Structure 1
Amino acid sequence: MTSPDSPVNAPGVSRTAFTAAAARAAHLLVDAAPPLFSDPLAAPLLGARAEELLAYHRLHGTHPILAGARAEAVCRSRFTEERLLRVNSGIDQYVILGAGLDSFAYRTPPGRFRVFEVDRPATQAAKRELLDAAGIAVPASVIFVAVDFETDALRDRLVQSGLDPRRPVFVSWLGVTMYLTRAAILATLTVLGGFAPGSEIVADHLLPAELRDAAGNAYAEAVAPMAAEEGEPWHTFLSPAAMAELLRGNGFEVVEQAAQHECAGSGAWNRDDALKPSRLSHLTHARIPLSRRES
């Protein structure tokens, strides 16, 4: 049990970081094998909230909203990490924007990547306490970059933390863009587009209502009000074309775009559980061309 003055209970800690981790953890508990994505550290990182958050999935795992949350969380993580681990261009700097309770750096062998976990100070303080309480060691390759996105310059904070801007980076930006204004998304992409040629990004975004299917709209109608009540309202919905335009306008070329049903291999959705893909969100993988020349 955490104390009332614990960083986990501090104002400003992302509640959606916990619900996303709970969805990844619950996937291994309530859905059929084989899993679409395996995150065995998600449950330990929930700390004292694990029993509460996982109970919802255990008791009501077939509910479309909870199953939808699991599909959303595991699809975007699988898509991103598959592309990160197959990069062969010498990228060894991995930036996780809005890292939350992401566990990549703690369940993969250290050495290949320097991992820069970027998040708000309160959320990072909570995560560090949870890692310590769970007995999960922080590798020397992990750098926590506490950023107040309202006041701090992202590039400056990353460089100050040891990122080499002259060498390419791989950026994941998952579960974040819906909480930002379009102007804030553009500002972040402008920063990311200034990194070295060969840099790559995977970002997800929620689709506008007219591009969602019935399941996607039902999920949005149920979850958006709850997110707003928790102080994290949804602001932005983007079509795949709109996301591609934003990226191209900031120096990226689009490599791939994928819906949920395209995030796993053929036959992965022939399942005996409640997990079903929906048209709720989309993923985009892009890179800065190597042919770009710095002015």
Structure 2
Amino acid sequence: MTDTATISRTALMAAAARAAHLIVDGEPHVFVDSLAGALLGEQAEELLQYHRLHGEHPVLAGARAQVVCRGRYAEDTLRGSGYEQYVVLGAGLDSYAYRASDGVRVFEVDRAATQRYKRNALRTAGIPEAAAYVPADFERDDLLEGLVAHGFDPRRPAVVGWLGVTMYLTEAAIERTVAAVARLGAGTILVLDHMVPEADRDAAGQAYVEAVGPVNAQHGEPWLSFLSPAGLAALLARHGMRAEHTNQHEILGERTDALRPSNLAWITRGTLAP
């Protein structure tokens, strides 16, 4: 038995959305996470059934659009960088380390309880461990110190993926984490997604916030921060990073399935100057 109380509900929902994309959405698939379902363990059938039965519902389709866009962008950035270190902040049930065979060293940063859940899920599924697990609390711990203690080389650049996390943190914690990333090797690339303020959302994005926000808060995971592209660019610039932005419209394009882009969450890439 796995104890779902040790892992974030939203981490389970995100993995279910990645797995469901391959089941309910048409080809070409935006992002292929072949292990997401396996990492859901005994929760898989229940969580995936919602998507099978109600895959066209705007909330479920919106969740799938959000996770596949950010996953695609982050892993494309990693492949294009040629870097050999990948840091996954708030890794949850991210499966890159267990799908890839490119020699990249993966460092997964998350709460210790989440990491215990995940490692148990990997054992149950018969999937060998392939990452360095760095336990950390973004509100308190020194990120660089934790990474170095687990074999990270701070002199070399890395790609840092920070997906599905910033909205659950205070702005002070977000800035502190960006400052920590800015201490990594020159050329380091930070990829993060962020929910935008109400003024920047379209009708679909606002409807998603109104439907999902209260539920998340009720389960103890409220959204705390909404960052505009301009505001985030200014934050990154304070720490020596040049920002580039993209959104779901640019990644999804025109599709004939239920995936529809919305102005809810943008993806930003910050590059640390050499």
TM-score class, shorter-chain normalisation, is: over 0.9
**CA–CA distance in structure 2, aligned partners of residues 78 and 120 of structure 1:** 24
The number of residue pairs the alignment matches comes to: 274
Q: How much has 1:168 moved relative to structure 2?
A: 1.0
8 Å Cα contact 2:110-2:136 kept in structure 1: yes
Runs of 4+ in 1 over 6 A off after TM superposition: none
Q: Measured at CA, do residues 22 and 209 of structure 1 come closer, stay the same or move farther in structure 2, by a change above 3 Å?
A: same
User: What letter corresponds to residue 271 of structure 2 in structure 1?
Assistant: R
Q: Secondary structure at the match of 2:108?
A: strand
Instruction: Give the counterpart letter for 1:226 in structure 2.
Output: V
- Work out which of the two has the higher radius of gyration on C-alpha atoms and give 1 or 2: 1
**Secondary structure of 2:92's partner?**
coil
* Alignment partner, residue 243 of structure 1: 232
Contact kept, 8 Å, 2:109 with 2:136, in 1: the verdict is: yes
Aligned to 2:213: 224
RMSD: 1.2
* Counterpart pick for 1:82 among 76, 83, 88: 76
Unaligned 5+ segments in structure 1 are: 291-295
Q: Distance in 1 between matches of 2:174 and 2:16?
A: 26
User: Do the aligned residues in 1 keep the contact of 2:138 with 2:177 (CA within 8 Å)?
Assistant: no
- Residue deviations 1:131-154, cap 9 Å, x none? 111111123xx2011113344211
Are residue 191 (structure 1) and residue 180 (structure 2) matched?
yes
Mapped contact 1:10–1:122 kept (Cα < 8 A):
no
Partner of residue 149, structure 2: 160
**What do residues 207-258 of structure 1 show as CA deviations (whole Å, max 9, x unaligned)?**
111100000000011111111112111000011000101101011112x210
Q: TM-score of the superposition, structure 1-length normalised?
A: 0.90
Q: 1:80 to 1:56 in 2, by over 3 A?
A: same
Match of 2:95 among 103, 114, 118: 103
Aligned partners of 1:174 and 1:17: how far apart in 2?
11
Provide, for residues 245-287 of structure 1, a one-character-per-residue CA deviation record: whole Å limited to 9, x for no partner: 1101011112x210111124xxxx3322111000001111121
Query: For residue 110 of structure 2, what is the amino acid of its counterpart?
Result: D
Aligned pairs for 1:170-185 within 5 A: 170-185=159-174
Cα deviation for residue 110 of structure 1 reads 4.4
Is 1:30 aligned to 2:19, yes or no? Answer: no
Percent identity (aligned): 54
Cα deviation for residue 75 of structure 1 reads 0.4
The amino acid that maps onto 2:64 is: R
Tell me the distance in 2 between the aligned counterparts of 1:48 and 1:184.
Answer: 33
Partner of 1:207: 196
Residue 129 (structure 2) aligned to one of 131, 138, 144: 138
Measure, in 1, the Cα distance between the counterparts of 2:142 and 2:96.
25
Please tell me whether the aligned partners of residues 173 and 203 of structure 1 are also in contact (alpha carbons under 8 angstroms).
Answer: yes
| Contact 1:96 1:117 survives alignment (8 Å) | yes
SS of equivalent to 1:162: coil
1:71 and 2:61 are equivalent in the alignment: no
Gap regions ≥5 residues in structure 2? none
1:9 counterpart (1, 4, 7): 4
Residue identity matched to 1:190: A
2 CA distance for matches of 1:283 and 1:53? 26
What amino acid does structure 1 have at the position aligned with 2:69?
A: C
- Give the match for residue 257 of structure 2: 273
Mapped contact 1:17–1:101 kept (Cα < 8 A): yes
Q: Distance in 2 between matches of 1:149 and 1:274?
A: 35
Structure number with the higher helix fraction is 2
Distance in structure 1 (CA, Å) of the matches to 2:120 and 2:140:
25
Matched-pair contact (CA < 8 Å) for 1:76–1:263: no
2:272 is matched with: 288
1:293 corresponds in structure 2 to none
Higher mean alpha-carbon deviation, 145-154 vs 173-182, is at 145-154
Counterpart of 2:105 in structure 1 is 114
